Amino acid sequence: MPSVATAPPIAAIATAPGRGGVGVIRISGSRLEAIVEGLIGRPLSPRHAHFARFRAADTSAIDEGLAIFFPGPNSFTGEDVLEIQGHGGPVVLGMLLRRCIELGARHAEPGEFSKRAFLNGKLDLAQAEAVADLIDAQSEAAARSALKSLDGAFSLEVRALVDALIHLRMLVEATLDFPEEDIDFLEAADARGQLCELQAQLARVLATATQGKLLREGMHVVLIGQPNVGKSSLMNALAGEEVAIVTDIAGTTRDTVRELIQLEGVPVHVIDTAGLRATDDVVERIGIERTWAAIAKADLALLLVDSREGVTQHDLDILGRLPRELPVLRVFNKVDLTGDVPGDVARDVVHVSAKTGEGLDALRQRLLHQVGWHGDDGVFIARERHLDAIRRASAHLDQALAAYQQVELFAEELRLAQNVLNEITGEFTSDDLLGVIFSKFCIGK
Ligand SMILES: Nc1nc2c(ncn2[C@@H]2O[C@H](COP(=O)(O)OP(=O)(O)OP(=O)(O)O)[C@@H](O)[C@H]2O)c(=O)[nH]1
Ligand SMILES: [Mg+2]
């Protein structure tokens, strides 16, 4: 584990690859004096922007720009950090980075700066993950929620739960010393009531975290149906541009076409597919195989039917072949030709016209409803890992309640629930898991 005293210096280009006005190199580690001296030729006063020439080994200039030195522990990583702001060209940044390596730094691994910040206690794990989520945010709502988590909103909720658990555990552990009175004592302290309140609190955090996960990951919606029902037209209408080819020839779409749209800040990956029918056309057959592959990965399927025909036997066959657990919304398209009520609120059915746009707002609302979206008020960003921990903590509390009469079991389940919650903030997390989490970050963060 690196510490402020011994961390070997790491360096990376922190700005995105390609050309830009400014490019930033970040170096972190203990004892950066040699690098500062070799690169700039003079010491830097802490947290001041210095204009400097960045020097090669023979003291010729590689570039010029700003250098800022943040002595540890008052830095992002908690170690000494040097930030070099040069010109944002890949060649010049590459030369600067090589110079840092020459002076004793090594290339940073993905997420290594954030990992060091976590290991040095500057951020907890949920906050470190929020850094990556802020960078990866696909909508403004997702970015706002990531910042909430980075500011500690999620961690505070988790800590409140852990504190309540500790309080209850202290009560239970105390009774273990007086076995003859234990149950009475727990009754008198309303341990059961406290446990139920904890469960309710967990459920509230889970609900918010579920919204946060939606903002981070979005949902995959696949458009399926027979040829010519208007899947590609609906795709284009939802995307607001002509991303898929539309013709009146059945079997127009061969390949799956994907487009990312936003619904109230929730990223929705819409996937248009080849119409499902029996065919001898080799290319179309491959397209249909791809439709089934897309269905297997989807969170929701929209089965489009032509309003003039209604649901046919062929549609029923398609429905029968869909994975059991896949939610399906039936979309009656082309209502402009039949005069059906657009936006009809019957369960699992929506009436639209991809051509005129009628019923599309109702469809968008239905999509959001289907994934359980309630708006981003107070939502912090979250990941499946967090949701899983909250669910497991809740299962331990259920077990605790079931074991209420056996105080030792009761105490053990509370201990396990606490450990599981601590995984979220990283107070109880294996090195392997840390490796997996940080390896998904970008280099330079
Ligand atoms: N009047 C009307 N025509 C529509 C509507 N939606 C699609 N169409 C027409 O129906 C025909 C087929 O539309 P597509 O969007 O290509 O249908 P598809 O389901 O993608 O067809 P395949 O790719 O062959 O599976 C085109 O001529 C569209 O203009 C609609 O809401 N109203
Ligand atoms: Mg199509």
8 Å CB contact between 374 and 392: no
For residue 334, give the ligand 1 atom closest to its CA. Answer: 31
pLDDT reported for residue 13: 97
Q: Which residues line ligand 1 (CB under 6 A)?
A: 227-233, 246-248, 250-253, 274-275, 333-334, 336-337, 353-355
Judged by its nearest atom, the ligand closest to the C-alpha of residue 224 is: 1
pLDDT digits (tens, 9 = 90+) for 13-50: 999 999 999 999 999 999 899 999 999 999 999 999 99
Ligand at shortest distance from the CA of 248: 1
77 assigned ligand-binding residue: no
pTM value?
0.82
> Mutate which of 223, 224, 228 to test ligand 1's pocket (most atoms within 8 Å of Cβ)?
228
Of residues 217, 170, 203, 206, the one with CA closest to residue 189: 170
Distance 222 CA to ligand 1 centre (A): 16
Across the chain, which distance is largest between two alpha carbons, in Å? 82
Has 122 been labeled as part of a binding site? yes
How is the beta sheet containing 80-88 ordered, strand by strand? 50-55, 61-70, 80-88, 20-29, 10-13, 106-107
Q: Specify the pLDDT at position 1.
A: 43
312 among the known binding-site residues? no
pLDDT tens-place values along the chain, 445 residues long: 444 457 999 999 999 999 999 999 999 999 899 999 999 999 999 999 999 999 999 999 999 999 999 999 999 999 999 999 999 999 999 999 999 999 999 999 999 999 999 999 999 999 999 999 999 998 899 999 999 999 999 999 999 999 999 999 988 887 777 766 666 777 777 888 999 999 999 999 999 999 999 999 999 999 999 999 999 999 999 999 999 999 999 999 999 999 999 999 999 999 999 999 999 999 999 999 999 999 999 999 999 999 999 999 999 999 999 999 999 999 999 999 998 776 555 678 999 999 999 999 999 999 998 888 888 888 999 999 999 999 999 999 999 999 888 888 999 999 999 999 999 999 877 788 888 889 888 888 8
174, two tokens: 């105390």
Residue 252 Cα, ligand 1 centroid: separation in angstroms? 10
Q: Residues 356, 312, 333, CA angle at the centre, nearest 5°?
A: 10
Mutation pick for ligand 1 pocket among 223, 224, 231, 233 (CB with most ligand atoms within 8 Å): 233
Q: What is the pLDDT of residues 114-159, one digit of tens each?
A: 999 999 999 999 999 999 999 999 889 999 999 999 999 999 999 9
Q: Are 80 and 29 in contact (CB under 8 A)?
A: yes
Determine if residue 230 is labeled as part of a ligand binding site: yes
Domain extents for the chain? 10-124, 137-426
The CATH homologous superfamily to which domain 137-426 belongs is: P-loop containing nucleotide triphosphate hydrolases (3.40.50.300)
The fold of the 10-124 domain, in CATH, is Gyrase A; domain 2 (3.30.1360)
Cα separation, 82 vs 74, in Å, equals: 12
Q: Is 191 annotated as a binding residue?
A: no
23 is in an annotated binding site: no
Task: Kindly report the protein residue whose alpha carbon is nearest to atom 9 of ligand 1.
Answer: 230
Atom 13 in ligand 1: residue holding the nearest Cα = 230
Nearest CA to ligand 1 atom 12: 228
* 286-305 burial: b if 16+ Cβ within 10 Å, else e: ebbebbbebbeebbbbbbbb
217 C-alpha to ligand 2 centroid (Å): 26
Which ligand places an atom closest to the C-alpha of 284? 1
The closest-lying atom of ligand 1 relative to the alpha carbon of residue 275 is 25
Is 112 annotated in a binding site? The answer is: no
CB burial readout 10-31, b (16+ within 10 A) else e: bbbbbbeeeeeeebbbbbbbee
Could you say which ligand is closest to the alpha carbon of residue 238?
1
Which ligand lies nearest to the CA atom of residue 244 in the structure?
A: 2
175 annotated ligand-binding residue: no
Q: How far is the CA of 339 from the centre of ligand 1 (A)?
A: 17
Give the pLDDT score at 31: 84
The residue to which tokens 């059961």 are assigned:
192
Ligand 2 mean position to 232 CA, how many Å?
Answer: 4
Give the per-residue pLDDT at 3: 43
Distance 261 CA to ligand 2 centre (A): 18
